[in-house]
Amino acid sequence: MSRYNKAKNIFIDSIDIDEYIELDSAEYSYNLIYDSVSRPLKMILLFGRPGTGKSILLNRIYQNLKYQKEIHYFDAPSLDQREFFRKFFKVVTLKDLPKNTEVNFTTLIDYCKSIQGKREVIILLDEAQMYDSNMLEKIRVLSDTRAIKFVISMHKTDNEELIAKEHFKTRIWETIELVNVNKEELKRYIHKKLLKHNLFDIADTIKSKHINLIYNLTKGNFRECNKMMFKTFEIYEYYDLDKKYKINDKKFSKKFIEMAAIRLGYIK
C-alpha cells in the first residue's frame, strides 16, 4: 500500500474530535461557546459558511461537557416534528415516550416550566437551517421556559441569519460567527494534520508556495481544503503505485495540486 493512502485518508471530512486541530481562531470560538453555556439561560446562535468547522466545534463542546452538564447534541436535523419532539421529550423528561404516542406540546412546555431553576438542559442543534419556521417558533417557545438553553448552529447566509434573528430577537444572548481561516492558519492546519499521524517527511515537503496555491483555490475553507488535499494525495497514490512513474518524495508537486483542482472544478 502506498504511504500516500494514509495521507489521503487523514483529510476525509469528519467531526471526530480525535481529528480536531487546535488553531487560534477555533480556540477563540470554542472558548466563547464554552463560557456562554455557563451563563444565564439564553439562546446562542452559531453562524458560519459551510466548511468553517461548526459541527466539529459543537461536537467538541458536547464531548468536553457531557459529564459535567445536562448537555445533548442533536447532530442531524429531525425534519419530522414528531421525531424531533420524541427525542426532545426523552432528553428532558428522562423517559421514553410510549409507542405510537405523540408529544403534546402544551404538556411539554408545562413540564419544562416545572423544572425551571431545578435543572439546566443544554441542547446543541446542528444544521438548524434545515428546520422550518414552525419548528423554529416552537424552539423559541421552549427557550422561553428558561429551563432549556439552545445553542443553534446555522449556515451563514443573509436570509437564514435574518430568519433566525427575526424569530429569536432579544432572546439571542450571543451570536458567534465562524469564518474561513487565513493563510497562516491553513498552513498550520495542513501541517498539524500530517504531523499528528507521523507523516513528518510529507509535511516537510509542503512549502509556502504550495500553501499559497491551496489557499487561493479553497479560500481557507476547511471542507474545501480537505477535499483538495484528499484529491491531491489520491493522485499521488495513483502515480506512486504505477511502476512506470517515479514519485519525487523530496518535493511536493504543484502540478498534482493543479490536477486535483481541475478534477474538483476549481480550475477549468
If one counts every other C-beta atom within 10 angstroms of the C-beta of residue 24, the result is 12
Q: Quick one: 173 and 201 in the same domain? A: no
Q: Quick one: 112 and 48 in the same domain? A: yes
The parent domain of residue 56 ranges over 24-178
Cα dihedral sign, 36-38-43-48: positive
pLDDT of 170 higher than 60: no
- Mean pLDDT, rounded, for 43-71: 91
* Of the candidates 50, 54, 30, the residue with the CA atom closest to the CA atom of residue 153: 54
**Which tens digit of pLDDT belongs to each residue from 121-143?**
999 999 988 888 888 888 888 98
Q: Quick one: 193 and 85 in the same domain? A: no
Among 178, 212, 244, give the residue marking a domain's end: 178
Q: Quick one: 35 and 140 in the same domain? A: yes
pLDDT of 169 higher than 70: no
Q: Is 165 inside any structural domain?
A: yes
Q: Is 109 inside any structural domain?
A: yes
Question: For residues 109, 110, 114 and 115, what is the CA-based torsion angle, rounded to 10 degrees?
Answer: -20
Q: Is 187 inside any structural domain?
A: yes
Q: Quick one: 133 and 77 in the same domain? A: yes
Query: What's the confidence (pLDDT) of residue 210?
Result: 97
* Distance (Å, whole) CA 187 – CA 251: 17
Asked if residues 232 and 7 have their Cβ atoms less than 8 Å apart, the reply is no
Q: Quick one: 46 and 164 in the same domain? A: yes
Q: Quick one: 30 and 139 in the same domain? A: yes
Domain count, the chain: 2
Q: Quick one: 226 and 143 in the same domain? A: no
Q: Quick one: 164 and 87 in the same domain? A: yes
Q: Is 185 inside any structural domain?
A: yes
**Which tens digit of pLDDT belongs to each residue from 183-230?**
999 999 999 999 999 999 999 999 999 999 999 999 999 999 999 999
Q: Is 19 inside any structural domain?
A: no
C-alpha cell at 129: 437551517
Among 49-63, 132-146, 161-175, 241-255, the minimum mean pLDDT is found in 161-175
SS3 assignment, position 105? helix
Q: Quick one: 9 and 73 in the same domain? A: no
For the whole prediction, is pTM greater than 0.75? yes
Query: What's the confidence (pLDDT) of residue 193?
Result: 96
Q: Quick one: 192 and 171 in the same domain? A: no
